Amino acid sequence: MPRWLTLPAMTWPDFAVWLDQNKVVLIAVTCTVVGAGSGLVGLRLWLQGPKCRSKARLEGKTVVITGSNTGIGKETARDLSRRGARVVMLCRDLQKARTTAEEIHEETGNPVVVHHLDLASLHSIRDTAANLNDTETRIHLLINNAGIMMCPRWETKDGFEMQLGTNHLGHFLLTLLLLDTIKASAPARIINVSSVAHTQGRIHWDDLHLQHHYNAKEAYCQSKLANVLFTRELAKRLQGTSVTTYSLHPGVVQTELGRHIHQSVNGFIHWAFHFFGNFFFKTVTRGAQTTIYCAVEESLATHTGKYYSDCAEKPPHRAALSDEDARRLWDASTQLVGLAV
């Protein structure tokens, strides 16, 4: 049997990663066995995953979404605006954000507000949070959606490794600075967009910023594991407040997230990622469904700190279940972003 088809003993999350990694080969085998036409169509539909079926309305609710001018963030903003929410977009590219906001407003008729946010700058995060706390009396949903994947070893303005700094530390600080407003809006929800990549992550406690041995994949997986651990610890600290937390894997989605692969890996992998993505990855609409599910599904109102994929609760990797690591990451993060422990 070919090596790529050999399955060692795996937990479900490990298998999910294996499935993502070997998806293209599995597609080819499936199409050969069941016929190129029906097999390809059926498999593509299956890979799109389920839709959020909740019909919940959000009139009178304010939703704050980072990175919402493109990709699944844009589709999330569009869906929640259709449900009647007042959407606040936090984006680095103001021109694209304003164009998106106008597009969504024209479609739904509901207000869409834009603020500048650079998650790679603690100064920008503090300014944006202060502005929101001054202008928004209520925040019912905070969706930490923005992210960066597989970039070269870049640093944020504050000297953090870019993927950890943007994907985790930036959202960590933003969330804590908005927490009083969110708690005053309860019941409220905080949603952190993670990835199945967290199953291959580990926290490099002695070298969080990977200064001594940088690997783009390791850095990304570490940042996504941090998202899940943050969600877990935040849920514990918010007990009794009616603010609930959720982390999720949106699926393998055809978005701009893979735009740096040609720099950190090589041009061929970058081409293959996008070429096969056009056929077999989730569309941005389907990729947004689990985020939307965590935002509106009524049955999740009493759940907190859990991990979701394909609009259902799933067990995260065992590395994401350590309460000790979750507390340790919280303490390290507060120190790095300059908050009191």
Instruction: Decide if 220 is catalytic.
Output: yes
DSSP assignment of 231-259: HHHHHHHTTTTTEEEEEEE--SB-SGGGG
Q: Let me know: does 208 contact 282? Beta carbons within 8 Å.
A: no
CA angle 89, 201, 279 (to 5 degrees): 65
DSSP notation for 46-77: HHH-PPP------TT-EEEEES-SSHHHHHHH
Token reading at 180: 């009083």
Burial group, residue 64, by CB count within 10 angstroms (0-12, 13-18, 19+): buried
Residue 215: partners with Cβ closer than 8 Å, 6 or more residues away: none
Q: List the structure tokens of 102.
A: 């106008």
Residue type, 89: M
Tokens 């503090």 — which residue? 126
Query: How many C-beta atoms lie closer than 10 Å to residue 22's C-beta?
Result: 14
What's the gap between Cα 298 and its chain centre? 21
Distance in angstroms (rounded) separating the CA atoms of residues 293 and 73: 13
CA dihedral 166, 133, 128, 79 (to 10 degrees): 70
Between CA 122 and CA 114 the distance in angstroms is 19
Active-site residue, selected from the candidate residues 214, 220, 307, 308: 220
In terms of Cα–Cα distance, which of 64, 52, 29, 86 is closest to 293? 52
Q: What CA dihedral angle connects 123, 128, 134 and 135, to 10 degrees?
A: 170
Residues with a catalytic annotation lie at 220
